[in-house]
Amino acid sequence: MITSFIPIGNSRGIRIPKPLLNESNLEGEVELLVKKGEIRIIAVPKKTKLTKDTLLLSEQALITDWNNPEEDIAWKSLQ
């Protein structure tokens, strides 16, 4: 498909037809990658939201790891 640049303020852009967008499954944020002679539009991976339960589980894991006597023994052997 051939298209032309259109003025958008001080920039230029292109219109992407709906069938192409549907086929690409692009939505939300995208990343533009530039190489000589081409511009690629790549989907940005969606960020996973941390919930309160996830944070609590992480804190519990840190407490367990933090109070690990094996590390103290290992450090003492290096001194």
Contact 40, 32 (CB under 8 A): yes
Its domain, for residue 30, covers 6-43
pLDDT on residue 60: 63
pLDDT on residue 6: 94
Residue 54 maps to a domain: no
Residue 56 maps to a domain: no
Residue ranges for the chain with pLDDT beneath 50: none
pLDDT on residue 71: 73
Residue 75 maps to a domain: no
**Dihedral over Cα of 27, 30, 33, 37: its sign:** positive
Name the pTM for this structure.
Answer: 0.51
- Total domains in the fold of the chain: 1
DSSP string, 12-71: EE----HHHHHHHT--S-EEEEEETTEEEEEEPPPPPPPPHHHHHHHHHHHHHHHT-HHH
